[in-house]
Every structure is written in structure tokens, then in C-alpha cells.
Amino acid sequence: TGAVAYDPGFMNTAATTSAITYIDGDAGILRYRGYPIEQLAQHSSFLEVSYLLIYGNLPTPTELEAFDQKIRRHTLLHEELKGFFGGFPRDAHPMPVLSSAVSALSTFYQDSLDPFNPEHVEVSTIRLMAKLPVIAAYAHKKSIGQPMLYPDNSMNLVENFMRLSFGLPAEQYEMDPVVTKALDLLLILHADHEQNCSTSTVRLVGSSNANLFASVSAGINALFGPAHGGANEAVLKMLRQIQADGIKPEDYMEKVKNKEDGVRLMGFGHRVYKNYDPRAKIIKATAHEILGKLGGNDELLDIAMRLEEKALADDYFIQRKLYPNVDFYTGLIYKAMGFPEKMFTVLFAIGRLPGWIAQWREMINDPQTKIGRPRQLYTGEPERNYPAN
């Protein structure tokens, strides 16, 4: 079998070729299917970006309309799946509720799960795009003890999600276009990021020919980890702590630099970006505007901006090439929209879904795909005999 390369964390091993997302971490470049993230953020919608990632090209208006209509037709959850939410404790975190319910989709659509049947893959794609945001909103409703509304298919995916998350049966839900537009933008920015931990998980599980629902459910569990999708929540906690303790941002920075109690500047640093995360740049530009309109907590935003300003001028951060990442400002915006902190990673999952689906489909259609099976360097005992008595 020859020598085995040792590469913990896959820092230097490409496990696949891919034509979906391009990142140049040193230059701070991110493109989906060749289109710069800045242009997509400015001109596109989450639905259009989803189509682009999954099918490879921007849709024509007719194609986009057909995609939208198909998704609207599949938003209903099976009534028995709805019953599923009652089985979790009241204070359940919505991420494991989401991954469990997505996994359970395999039990409701048993006759259309074949990864090598293009019709099965297509209907699973639409089902997942339509139902995952509904499941996410129900997981939120479950955690606050409110009734789950039925989807309203006169609304698009993002509008429906907002209404299902915040609407009540007894009153008309007032859609705020500023909020839906801001959420749409954040979902675009999260839609794919090549072979990150959750996406690699989706591919690894899928490489055993597991179906799309099973593979994406595994990806959701990978995203649940605080080193991956949980950082937006951690940033907000850090800002609130600084505010509550009345510490000056300068003093907090000293603690970070001295590595006191392992304190890190949350929302800073990235394995791939050694330059300003282009997604953070876009969010920063809109954070003020959005928070201004939504009445967000300006004091927390001020603390965040002061920390950033100090960090960008500080040798510690310059030498280590630590810049704000996508999570530095998102938590503040989600909070201003009215989402509890437990939902932040769920919002990330809704955004990342088209990326997971696109990567899974690319893998299934790639003749080079083999079952994922890393090697190891054994460090245990040499052969020894079981004691005779």
C-alpha cells in the first residue's frame, strides 16, 4: 500500500476536485460558480444563488420562476413529521431538532431516495429546500412554546420562514421588507464555502451512497460544533460580557494578546482567509444600515467596531494575519431581527443548505468518487498475547 501521508485536520490534502466555489484566502476572494460574492450580494437573491450553486448557472427568469414554484409546492410537512416535535424536551436546542427531523425525512420518502436516480435526486433537492426552513421555524416555535403555523405558499422561501418563525395564528403577520432583504443577504453569504467541516461531512457520508437527507443531516450535526457554526453566538456573548463588565475594548484586547484564560477575539481569524473575509466586509457595510433600521443595540455595535479598529492596527493580529470573519457582525443582526441566540446556527444551516446539496450532487455525478476512507498511523501496542490464566 506504500507510505501514508500524515495530515491531521486535512490542512494540506485535497479530497476532491470541485467546480462550485473558489476561495483565495490570501487575497480575500470568494466566488460561487465564478461569480464574485460582492456581485451576488448586490444583485442576486438567495433563491437565485441556490439555483446557481445546485445547477451550475444563473437561472433565466422562467427557470427561476419554475424553481420558486416547485419549492412553494413542497413546503408542507407530513402531519406525522409534525408530531415528531412533541417528542423533544421543551428547552431542546433547535440544531439537533433540525438534524433529527431532516434525517427523519428518509422515512417519509422511502421510494425516492436512490442517489443514482436523477428524478429521485431532483425531488429530494426540492423537498429539502422547501422543508428545511419550515422545520427550522418549527424548532424555534417548539423552543418558545408557540403554535406552529402552516406555510403560506403565496410567500417565497425567506418570507415564509420569517412568518413561520414569528407569526401567530390570531394575527396578521406584518412582513418587514428590510428584515427579509437583510436575511436574504446573510443567507447568500453563507450559501457555500467549499470543503469546510460540514460540507466535507456531507460528502463523506454521501460517499457511502447514503441518501441526500441522511448526508445533509450529518452536515447539520457537524455545523452544530462551536468551532464551526457556533461562532456567531460566541461573538455576541463576548460583546455582551464586555458591556456588562464595563471593560474598555482596549483592555479586553490586552487579555486576548496575553492569552489570559485562553481568551480569543471571537469572530476573528480563519483557517483559509489570511486577509479580510470578503463576507465580513459586505456585512460590515450593511450592519450599520440594517441595525439603524431595526433598532439594534448600537452600544454592542460600537464595541464591535472599536475592537475591530484596534485589532486591525495591532501587531499581534497583523503578524498572525487575523481579520474579522463572517461571524463577527452576523450575531448582532440576527439579534436585532428578533432571533434568540440558539437560532443563530440554524440560520447558518438554512444558508448553507444549497451548498451542501450542490456538493453532494457533484460528488454523486463524479466518476472519480470513491468511498471516503482516510488512513491512519497506528500508535498502539504491538502484538501481545492474551494471558494464559
CA distances from 188 to 51, 145, 192, 296, 352 (A): 11, 30, 8, 21, 9
Least Å distance, CB 298 to ligand CMC, is: 22
Residue count of the chain = 389
Q: Is-catalytic flag, 114? A: no
Catalytic residue among 184, 192, 277, 327: 327
The CB-nearest residue to ligand CMC is 269
Q: Is-catalytic flag, 327? A: yes
**Toward ligand CMC, which CB reaches closer, 130 or 256?**
256
Least Å distance, CB 222 to ligand CMC, is: 10
**Toward ligand CMC, which CB reaches closer, 254 or 298?**
254
| Binding positions for ligand CMC, rule: CB under 6 A | 196, 227-229, 231, 256, 264-271, 320, 322, 325-327
For cell 413542497, what's the residue? 74
51/33 Cα distance (integer angstroms): 11
**Toward ligand CMC, which CB reaches closer, 98 or 256?**
256
Least Å distance, CB 9 to ligand CMC, is: 7
**Toward ligand CMC, which CB reaches closer, 2 or 262?**
262
Burial class (CB in 10 A: 0-12, 13-18, 19+), 97: buried
* Distant-in-sequence, close-in-space partners of 126: CB < 8 Å, separation ≥ 6: 70, 71, 74
Residue 87 CB neighbour total at 10 angstroms: 9
Catalytic residue among 270, 288, 298, 315: 270
Least Å distance, CB 228 to ligand CMC, is: 4
Least Å distance, CB 275 to ligand CMC, is: 13
**Toward ligand CMC, which CB reaches closer, 242 or 256?**
256
Catalytic residues, which ones?
Answer: 270, 327
